[in-house]
Structure 1
Amino acid sequence: MKEKAVILLSGGLDSTVCMAVAKNLGFELLPLSFNYHQRHKRELEAAAKVAAYFDVSKHLVIETNMESIGGSALTDDDMSVPAGNIERDDIPITYVPARNLIFLSYALGYAEVSGSNRIFIGVNALDYSGYPDCRPEFIRMFQQLADYSTKATTQDGRRIVIETPLINFTKKDIVLLGHQLKAPLQLTTSCYQGGEAACGQCDSCLLRLKGFAEAGLTDPILYDDRSE
């Protein structure tokens, strides 16, 4: 019987490649996605397509209303997604407060109930938008918390490990790995605007395009003509 792994699947490039890594390692995939009332709900459609591509037995989607907290251009209608600037040093307004902390907490509970000893998350700390919950320090601290916060870990002798196979990868590295593993990159979406065609202008689009260009590959998704 295959060992199970919970995969945090957003429908984006990084999480899809992360899922391909887990598949390549031989895990039974338990993808977990979130409807957090994000403006770009197109990512949920992409996540469903990616899950279907991997022929998983179950794709769990949890609703958690982070719109009520607000404070992010990805959840607030009165905040606009800014033009991309991948050279910035500050944390952009597309940061969603405590998002990965919340997502990993749900994933930890799902791992405990499903009998999974692994949680895969596609965070990376090199070519990214500066979010504090994508850093190795955050993952290390959450792992320490996870080791003491469930019945599985405190009574049953299990250790649920947070796996971050992409954390030291550039977007070029991620694109090349996805290409090597035949991940369905054509089904993914990264754009913060959430349109049928990617805008090509937001931070996420710029980082994605940079990765494909440096990898010498053509991005298979559709972009808005205005981004040309």
Structure 2
Amino acid sequence: MTSQAKKAVIILSGGLDSTTCMGFARESGYELYPITFDYGQRHRIELTNARKVAEFYGVAERFKEIKLGFLREFGGSALTDDNIAVPKVDVQGEIEESEIPITYVPGRNLMFLSIATSYAEAVGAEAIYIGVNALDYSGYPDCRPEFIDKVQEVMALATKVGVEGKPITIETPLILLSKADIVREGTRMGVPYELTTSCYNGEEEACGECDSCRLRLKGFAEAGQTDPVPYKSR
């Protein structure tokens, strides 16, 4: 009798980090179940990129796009409120991490993980991959190890598989990697970075000036590589 293949849900934004998570999950032998979220984000181009990544990995038929447009109605973030400008980062300056930036979307990862948990339990997945990072990141509170640990505890209490002693695990393979190490690992695994987008402004060409672009460019530069996506400014 052949054993049933193990499954993992991947929270896939179409960006560098989440796409690298697809690579890690594939390398670990999981069947991939990607899920992305349309929350009215300014950079809606990432939804198209997420689908392209799912197609690259041959799992387009499992790709789920979940509508969460009410987050735009809530606002409170430069990513969901057109009246709040996406900040630019000085090319020569350091990425500022002392304050939580205006690009933080209230409750986003908490909601994403909750929905991904429901999807994982429904399809019999034993893991959820999310591309949070606690080193080269924008200072979001929902990217920290403490946050992941607490959500993991709640998932074990709130799910049927959890109370039966088979809890779904949250996998965070990038959480202690630098952006450069993420790029190196993704390149090693053949992750299709040319299909990804990270820019918060959501245009065909990345701006090269927002926090996300600067972090991404910093990672490629420190890894000794050239980012394959087009930029207006590098």
For the aligned pair, the TM-score class normalised by the smaller chain equals: over 0.9
Secondary structure in structure 2 of the residue aligned to 1:200: coil
Secondary structure in structure 2 of the residue aligned to 1:100: helix
- Does residue 188 of structure 1 match 2:193? no
The equivalent residue for 1:99 is: 108
Cα displacement string for residues 121-162 of structure 1 (whole angstroms, at most 9, x for unaligned residues): 0100000000000000000010011110012212x4321000
Structure 1: distance between partners of 2:116 and 2:133: 18
The equivalent residue for 1:36 is: 39
For residue 27 of structure 1, what is the amino acid of its counterpart? Y
Report matched runs for 1:89-168 at 5 Å.
89-154=98-163, 156-168=164-176
Structure 1: distance between partners of 2:101 and 2:44: 20
Cα displacement string for residues 153-176 of structure 1 (whole angstroms, at most 9, x for unaligned residues): 12x432100000000011000000
Secondary structure in structure 1 of the residue aligned to 2:32: strand
Q: CA deviation at 1:2?
A: 1.6
For residue 194 of structure 2, what is the amino acid of its counterpart? Q
The equivalent residue for 2:83 is: 78
Out of 59, 62, 67, the position equivalent to 1:63 is: 67
Secondary structure in structure 2 of the residue aligned to 1:162: strand
For residue 71 of structure 1, what is the amino acid of its counterpart? G
Q: TM-score, normalised by structure 1?
A: 0.97
Structure 2: distance between partners of 1:146 and 1:99: 17
* Alignment root-mean-square deviation, CA: 0.9
Q: CA deviation at 1:88?
A: 3.8
For residue 182 of structure 1, what is the amino acid of its counterpart? G
Q: CA deviation at 1:10?
A: 0.2
Show structure 1 runs of 4+ deviating over 2 A. none
Q: TM-score, normalised by structure 2?
A: 0.94
Secondary structure in structure 2 of the residue aligned to 1:68: helix
Structure 2: distance between partners of 1:36 and 1:90: 24
Structure 1: distance between partners of 2:74 and 2:177: 31
- Does residue 202 of structure 1 match 2:210? yes
Q: CA deviation at 1:84?
A: 2.1
- Does residue 16 of structure 1 match 2:24? no
- Does residue 213 of structure 1 match 2:216? no
Q: CA deviation at 1:73?
A: 0.2
Q: CA deviation at 1:87?
A: 2.5
Secondary structure in structure 1 of the residue aligned to 2:72: coil
Structure 2: distance between partners of 1:175 and 1:148: 35
For residue 67 of structure 1, what is the amino acid of its counterpart? R
For structure 1, the 5+ residue unaligned runs are: none
Cα displacement string for residues 150-203 of structure 1 (whole angstroms, at most 9, x for unaligned residues): 12212x432100000000011000000010000000000000000100000000
